[in-house]
């Protein structure tokens, strides 16, 4: 965006000024659907870093309804909040990722540990992959070009003020459009949107080829081999696929299973040990029954009356699954499932619809359709501890920094909030104007 210093009687571009206002209005009424902590340092560098302090290589990636991905430097975000009077952070760069809203993110280390792969799924039906090294290289070239322009023409340049994000042109190394799933009634549906992603080996520690799983708005569950590029999808006639959109998924490395939650009121488990998620092993009725049911037929269709499963996560051992459900009228519930017994063992009501969840070693973090971060015990026992989120009226994105314990929350209004492991707000990105 052009800074105000370039607008005077000698330099006035009405179109640039109008474009800047239009961009700010879009961002102010946008939604952050997902966020993920990533690091630009090699895996060995992460291991030697302090366990509590943020490193200069620590970054935050956010996915927006505008179709853009934004990258924040966490050290700068904290500095602007603590030392500059609680100022809103600016992304160091952004790039157009999809032709519609970006709903989900996934990040994985390469096998060598020298780079991070970023994956995004959007409303245009594409899954795209980006190398973090390519993004940072483009950002470095952009910053070097700006420095040269400022040296050649002091006070000139491209009109970009300090701290304003650089809009990059990044070429993805992976771009796959997912096919339509077979409709249960034989109808032809619209091209599906990619609403959830999960990786089989996000840390890059396994010897087997990594697999990317994607859930779509038409109920399809797809597996993409990142080595060969082969795409596989279960057939509905074999008990695969959901009847309605897949809103959440998670993969357990220890159990070799993939879990998917859908608008059709069921949670399905898939055998993801060999060849992706081709076989559905269990289907759970998340309603009053709270047990395993046949994956197809009348009993599965009756689950359509259940509230949708909006988020889910495996416990570290892979033996337990935690799910969030929407119940309508602004209320919802959380449930815990024993995968060994194949039934629900705990359920608690919530005052809002859960929309994102993270399972920590000793607690469960949940955000949803209220301006609060809720902390539950690992077994969902006792009341939740609520922490207000003043800038996020409704939250969709949630992630936990694996080393420092920082929590990132993104939601309506394009807002992003960064909290320390103790719950104190240490940074954020929010939009205000004279109309607020």
Does the structure show a pLDDT above 80 at 61? yes
pLDDT score for 161 = 47
302 assigned to some structural domain: yes
Average pLDDT over every residue of 261-282 = 86
Which position has the higher pLDDT, 362 or 52? 362
Which position has the higher pLDDT, 284 or 190? 284
203 assigned to some structural domain: yes
pLDDT score for 194 = 97
pLDDT score for 242 = 87
Distances 309 to 234, 252, 356 between C-alpha atoms, Å: 20, 18, 11
Q: Give the neighbor-by-neighbor strand order of the sheet with 32-39.
A: 32-39, 58-64, 68-73, 93-96, 166-168
pTM of the model: 0.89
398 assigned to some structural domain: no
Average pLDDT across the chain, whole number: 86
Q: Which of 345, 322, 344 is nearest to 334 (CA)?
A: 322
Query: Please, which residues have CB within 8 angstroms of residue 429's CB and are 6 or more apart in sequence?
Result: 72, 77, 88, 89, 90, 91, 414, 415, 416
Highest mean pLDDT out of 10-14, 23-27, 124-128, 277-281: 124-128
59 assigned to some structural domain: no
Residues 167 and 71: their CA atoms lie apart, in Å, by 11
pLDDT score for 124 = 95
257 assigned to some structural domain: yes
Average pLDDT over every residue of 370-374 = 95
166 assigned to some structural domain: no
Report residue 133 CA to chain centroid gap.
20
Which position has the higher pLDDT, 49 or 128? 128
Domain range holding 269? 183-310
38 assigned to some structural domain: no
415 assigned to some structural domain: no
Does the structure show a pLDDT above 80 at 56? yes
Residues 11 and 7: their CA atoms lie apart, in Å, by 6
Q: Where does the pLDDT of residue 188 fall: very low under 50, low under 70, confident under 90, or very high at 90 and above?
A: low
pLDDT score for 300 = 73
CATH number of the domain enclosing 210: 2.130.10.10
Number of domains in the chain: 1
Average pLDDT over every residue of 84-102 = 91
Residues 251 and 273: their CA atoms lie apart, in Å, by 10
């Amino acid at each position: 965006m052009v800074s105000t210093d370039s607008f005077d009687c000698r330099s006035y571009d009405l179109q640039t000024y109008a474009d800047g206002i239009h961009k700010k209005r879009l961002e102010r009424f946008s939604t952050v659907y997902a966020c993920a902590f990533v690091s630009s340092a090699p895996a060995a560098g992460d291991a030697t870093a302090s366990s509590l302090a943020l490193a200069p290589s620590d970054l935050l990636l956010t996915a927006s309804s505008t179709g853009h991905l934004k990258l924040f430097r966490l050290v700068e975000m904290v500095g602007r909040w603590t030392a500059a009077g609680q100022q809103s952070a600016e992304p160091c760069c952004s790039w157009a990722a999809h032709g519609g809203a970006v709903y989900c993110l996934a990040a994985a280390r390469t096998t060598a540990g020298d780079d991070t792969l970023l994956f995004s799924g959007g409303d245009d039906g594409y899954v795209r992959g980006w190398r973090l090294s390519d993004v940072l290289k483009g950002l470095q070239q952009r910053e070097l070009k700006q420095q040269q322009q400022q040296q050649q023409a002091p006070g000139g340049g491209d009109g970009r003020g300090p701290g304003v994000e650089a809009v990059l042109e990044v070429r993805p190394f992976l771009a796959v459009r997912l096919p339509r799933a077979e409709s249960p009634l034989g109808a032809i549906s619209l091209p599906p949107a990619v609403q959830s992603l999960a990786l089989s080996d996000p840390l890059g520690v396994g010897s087997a080829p990594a697999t990317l799983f994607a859930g779509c708005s038409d109920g399809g569950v797809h597996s993409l081999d990142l080595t060969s590029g082969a795409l596989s999808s279960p057939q509905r006639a074999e008990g695969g696929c959901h009847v309605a959109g897949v809103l959440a998924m998670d993969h357990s490395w220890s159990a070799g299973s993939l879990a998917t939650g859908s608008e059709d009121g069921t949670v399905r488990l898939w055998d993801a040990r060999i060849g992706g998620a081709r076989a559905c092993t269990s289907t759970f009725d998340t309603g009053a029954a709270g047990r395993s049911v046949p994956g197809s037929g009348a009993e599965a269709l009756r689950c359509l009356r259940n509230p949708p499963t909006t988020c889910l996560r495996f416990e570290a051992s892979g033996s337990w699954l935690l799910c969030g459900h929407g119940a309508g009228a602004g209320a919802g519930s959380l449930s815990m499932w024993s995968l060994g017994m194949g039934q629900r063992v705990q359920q608690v009501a919530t005052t809002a619809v859960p929309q994102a969840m993270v399972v920590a070693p000793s607690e469960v973090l949940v955000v949803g359709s209220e301006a609060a971060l809720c902390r539950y015990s690992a077994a969902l026992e006792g009341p939740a501890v609520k922490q207000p989120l003043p800038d996020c009226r409704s939250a969709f994105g949630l992630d936990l920094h694996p080393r420092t314990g920082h929590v990132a929350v993104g939601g309506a209004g394009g807002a992003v909030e960064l909290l320390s492991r103790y719950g104190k707000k240490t940074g954020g990105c929010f939009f205000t104007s004279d109309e607020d």
